[in-house]
Structure 1
Amino acid sequence: MSKYLVVAIIITVSLIVGYAAYSNSKQTTSSKVGESGEFSTELESYPVAKKTEIVELKNGDSYNLTASIVKKNINGADVKMLSYNGSIPGPLIKVPQGGEITVNFTNNTDVDTTIHSHGVRLDNQFDGVPDVTQKPIKVGESFTYKLKFPDAGVYWYHPHIREDYATNSASTRIFNISIPNARMRLVGADNGKYEREEWVDSVRLSPSERVVVEVWFDKSGDYQITHKTPQNSYTMGAIDVAPGPVTTSYLLVPRVNQDIITALGPLRPQFTKEVDKTLNLTLSMMGNMMQQEPNTIEITSSGFSPKTLTISQGDARGYPINFSEYQQLTNSQIRNSATWNSYTNKNHVFLK
């Protein structure tokens, strides 16, 4: 029987790089450009976004990158967008592995911004996190980034500020993603490949988290991408698998990545060493008129019996967490049992 295959689907719940505000040519706004970081939706005479270019740099090169406002016509509507060097997406920058470049960045938008080089191992001062590793780059100001590229890969540069403007973004909820009637194999995540791939029924993602899965479809047709909670199941999208034979190849055999196993070798003694410190998780409940009964907090961890704490209004309880008990990638949940809380109020903590 013919088999069908989709490989390396990147499931992502992430904040969008730029903000697009739909308007027509007659639309105006009361906010002034750049005033208090307001994002004006006025189109004015902004240039049309141009085609993305590919830039190849050598070790030691410098490159000028400018964030500016452009417009596009999408389905008959003019859209205001933020661009890099006039294009969306911005330039594809190629740098040799082991290379270091200088990026001279200028902010010509009407909001504060920074550049975060997602996934790149670089000096902390150039990580682009506003008010943590640097001050926000104000309108009309510039900043120089020194970027190192010790690892091969494809990375994403994007603003790390004003993310509340992003459209179609997630809140603080966890997404429990699955593809019914298809087999998913977990390959890796933001930090790269896993030591060993494994078949999974679903993956749980927090906002801005990404994982890579390979999916095996045994027949053609439409497959739903779903988000399941204890109460409901939501369709997030669909995959249309076309008919036609493909080679099964390596897909059905999970890979063992010996290079990752070797790289983690020096760290393995840390996995079983005596605990360095015990963290105390304090759970408290504010008094209010809506919640009169004591609240029960349930803490569960993979392979261990659940522990519960009962907390009354205005009370607090301490729960010691001994990390020596937990294996790598242990999935711990802290769940509020109050009836007015839902699945989206669960906090999932992955201990690494």
Structure 2
Amino acid sequence: MKKAYLYILIPILLIIIIIIATTLKQGEQTTITKKLSQVEVKDLEAAKPSSIVELKNGDSLDLTATIVKKNINGVEVKMLAYNGQIPGPLIKTEKGSEVTINFTNNTDMESTIHSHGVRLDNKFDGVPDITQEPVKVGDAYVYKIKFPDEGMYWYHPHIREDYQQELGLYGNYLVSSDDQDYWNPVNQEIPLFLDDIQMESGQIAAFNNEKVDHAFMGRFGNVMLVNGETNYSVNAKQGDVIRFYLTNSANTRTFHFAIPGIKLKLVGGDNGRFEKEELVDAVIVSPSERYIIEASFDKSGNFEIQNKTPEKAYKLGVISVSNETTAQSYSSEFSDLRVNNELQNEIAQLTSNLSSISQKSLTISIDPMGMGSGMLNNNNSNMMGGGHMMGNGMMMQNNDQQKIEWEDDMGMMNKNATADSIKWKLIDQANGKENMDINWTFKKGELVRIKLFNDPNSPHPMQHPVHIHGQRFLVLNTNGVENTNKVWKDTTLVQTGDTVEILVEMSNPGDWLIHCHIPEHMEAGMMSKFEVI
């Protein structure tokens, strides 16, 4: 009788213990969330500059996302940081290595880590509800990341990027090559995150806690940041050659990067070196793209880092070059425009029979669902007559259409637009399926041509940086004009009215995303899934 009683009592006690433990954990999590969201700015730790962390094969790093304070234009504001740093730590590792990232989420929202551009194992891609469950506040997750390719990559959340990434959750991976001569010798290597942030009345403009806003154009900032700073500066010596690794971490803004008066050499992109090095005056960098340039400072003085748009040149920072001559000159190496024969041979083999490669076609468009029919039609045409709304309420017609929207010209219409009123679309031209209904399937090792058409007659045509997870691709042509200097990429900018054809190497099995990297557009639907088997 006593044994029978115990058989009944023990399971009941175990159930009670589990319920109590679960309740305590939930209470603890609620307390953490409340504490983090209500903490006073003055009580927060100040954000620190990015540090360098070198990881060898098999090494691990504890990476914690927290709330910090940061001074922007003389005002302390609440932001987010990895290990208390904005940008997060620069993680340097070697091609072929595998490292472990022990991630802890101590922010005020669920999060993940997406290793952007890295052809890693699918289960560590950081996409909520596809490759993992969201990491709740106070919880942790272990990422094992393999780096098969050299180059500059980056990490950021894949939940509410409009909020989390915008407030500082981003950092770089710099993957070195096993070829010591892969890059040119330089005097300095400097990673630069190009960013902006929207300020109102001295504070960061408020976010919608429940849903993403600014869904028309995305959230443009009105304060420019380089590596999280409004007054970024670099010191150099006369004769120095500096390699800059550019990453655009802005939500929406496309940067036109320049250093007036200084020679620039374009050497690399998203996933390594170009076919051939070339001298350039400036580089267009859309959200999530990376470009690698070298700059030769053969004279002393102060040189501005600028974002040069058709209307304005923004000062992003300054490079102060002293009269002191550099100890080691690399001017001759800078003058030599190298050719990447290995990549050229690889591309020649991949593109030798393009006509036999299967092809997909996607159209980029928008459905302004919540707008009245009066605004949707203009003389029996689509919204705004195939043009778009200016900030003053005037129309801009197609013949004046901008290839790139350099600024937010929609004002309150953009600010108030959410996924309830706006649906951005990737449309499969073969069957009319949209966004997550597309669901393509490919075989590992298959090559696929994808045409990306940005419809200029959509209700609001604008540029879109299209990102493909887990694979790499080459841009073959734009509007039928061949791209004569290719580089492996994971993101490409599709400007208004353009058709960009890419060749994707489906090398990495799993369930992956293709989406616009303007987070407000992705949250408003512009995302689809494909499988590599």
Preserved contact between residue 275 and residue 324 of structure 1 (Cα < 8 Å): no
**What is aligned with 1:263?**
346
Does residue 334 of the first structure (1) align with residue 508 of the second (2)?
no
Write the mapping of 1:175-214 to structure 2, written as runs, cut at 5 A: 175-214=255-294
Q: Secondary structure at the match of 1:334?
A: coil
Counterpart Cα distance in 2 of 1:227 and 1:78? 25
| 1:38–1:183 CA distance, 2 compared to 1 (3 A) | same
Please list the CA deviations of residues 95-133 of structure 1 after superposition, one character each: whole Å capped at 9, or x if unmatched: 554233444433233332211223422023312234554
Does residue 108 of the first structure (1) align with residue 106 of the second (2)?
yes
| Aligned partner letter, 1:163 | Q
| 1:140–1:234 CA distance, 2 compared to 1 (3 A) | closer
**What is aligned with 1:13?**
none
**What is aligned with 1:252?**
335
| Aligned partner letter, 1:286 | M
Q: How far apart are 1:137 and its partner, in Å?
A: 1.1
Counterpart Cα distance in 1 of 2:396 and 2:65? 53
| 1:331–1:310 CA distance, 2 compared to 1 (3 A) | closer
Does residue 325 of the first structure (1) align with residue 487 of the second (2)?
no
| 1:285–1:135 CA distance, 2 compared to 1 (3 A) | farther
Q: Is the deviation greater in 203-212 or in 238-247?
A: 238-247
Q: Secondary structure at the match of 1:172?
A: coil
Match of residue 140, structure 1, among 138, 142, 145: 138
**What is aligned with 1:304?**
none
**What is aligned with 1:223?**
303
Q: Give the CA RMSD over aligned residues.
A: 4.8
Please list the CA deviations of residues 292-333 of structure 1 after superposition, one character each: whole Å capped at 9, or x if unmatched: 796547698xxxxxxxx996999xxxxxxx978242369874
| Aligned partner letter, 2:265 | R
Does residue 121 of the first structure (1) align with residue 91 of the second (2)?
no
Match of residue 173, structure 1, among 243, 253, 276: 253
Preserved contact between residue 478 and residue 500 of structure 2 (Cα < 8 Å): no
**What is aligned with 2:319?**
239
Preserved contact between residue 295 and residue 312 of structure 1 (Cα < 8 Å): no
Counterpart Cα distance in 2 of 1:77 and 1:123? 42
Preserved contact between residue 41 and residue 80 of structure 1 (Cα < 8 Å): no
Preserved contact between residue 66 and residue 108 of structure 1 (Cα < 8 Å): yes
| 1:132–1:186 CA distance, 2 compared to 1 (3 A) | farther
Q: How far apart are 1:195 and its partner, in Å?
A: 0.9
Counterpart Cα distance in 1 of 2:252 and 2:84? 32
Q: Secondary structure at the match of 1:139?
A: coil
Counterpart Cα distance in 1 of 2:302 and 2:94? 40
| 1:72–1:324 CA distance, 2 compared to 1 (3 A) | closer
| 1:96–1:203 CA distance, 2 compared to 1 (3 A) | closer
Instruction: Give TM-score scaled by structure 1 length.
Output: 0.62
Point out where structure 2 has 5 or more consecutive residues left out of the alignment.
1-29, 169-194, 198-249, 367-380, 404-454, 461-476, 487-491, 503-533
Please list the CA deviations of residues 60-95 of structure 1 after superposition, one character each: whole Å capped at 9, or x if unmatched: x66654434567899999876655556777666665
Counterpart Cα distance in 1 of 2:98 and 2:396? 59
Q: Secondary structure at the match of 2:352?
A: helix
Q: Secondary structure at the match of 1:260?
A: helix
Counterpart Cα distance in 2 of 1:217 and 1:55? 28
Counterpart Cα distance in 2 of 1:243 and 1:263? 44
Please list the CA deviations of residues 181-213 of structure 1 after superposition, one character each: whole Å capped at 9, or x if unmatched: 222111112221101011112211212333111
| 1:200–1:270 CA distance, 2 compared to 1 (3 A) | farther
Q: How far apart are 1:159 and its partner, in Å?
A: 3.2
| 1:203–1:41 CA distance, 2 compared to 1 (3 A) | farther
Counterpart Cα distance in 2 of 1:58 and 1:108? 27
**What is aligned with 1:345?**
none
Counterpart Cα distance in 1 of 2:87 and 2:100? 20
**What is aligned with 2:148?**
150
Preserved contact between residue 124 and residue 144 of structure 2 (Cα < 8 Å): yes
**What is aligned with 1:285?**
382
Instruction: Give TM-score scaled by structure 2 length.
Output: 0.44
Counterpart Cα distance in 2 of 1:310 and 1:92? 39
| 1:39–1:203 CA distance, 2 compared to 1 (3 A) | farther
| Aligned partner letter, 1:214 | E
| 1:213–1:145 CA distance, 2 compared to 1 (3 A) | same
Q: How far apart are 1:225 and its partner, in Å?
A: 2.6
| Aligned partner letter, 2:272 | G
The percent identity for this pair of structures is: 44
Write the mapping of 1:292-307 to structure 2, written as runs, cut at 5 A: 295-296=398-399
Preserved contact between residue 120 and residue 145 of structure 2 (Cα < 8 Å): yes
| 1:230–1:128 CA distance, 2 compared to 1 (3 A) | same
Q: How far apart are 1:49 and its partner, in Å?
A: 8.0
Q: How far apart are 1:46 and its partner, in Å?
A: 6.3
Preserved contact between residue 275 and residue 341 of structure 2 (Cα < 8 Å): yes
**What is aligned with 1:3?**
none
Does residue 276 of the first structure (1) align with residue 359 of the second (2)?
yes
Q: Secondary structure at the match of 2:383?
A: coil
Q: Is the deviation greater in 67-76 or in 239-248?
A: 67-76
Please list the CA deviations of residues 150-171 of structure 1 after superposition, one character each: whole Å capped at 9, or x if unmatched: 2345654443442243483445
| Aligned partner letter, 1:334 | T
Preserved contact between residue 307 and residue 315 of structure 2 (Cα < 8 Å): yes
Quick check: which one's helix share is greater? Answer: 2
Preserved contact between residue 305 and residue 317 of structure 2 (Cα < 8 Å): yes
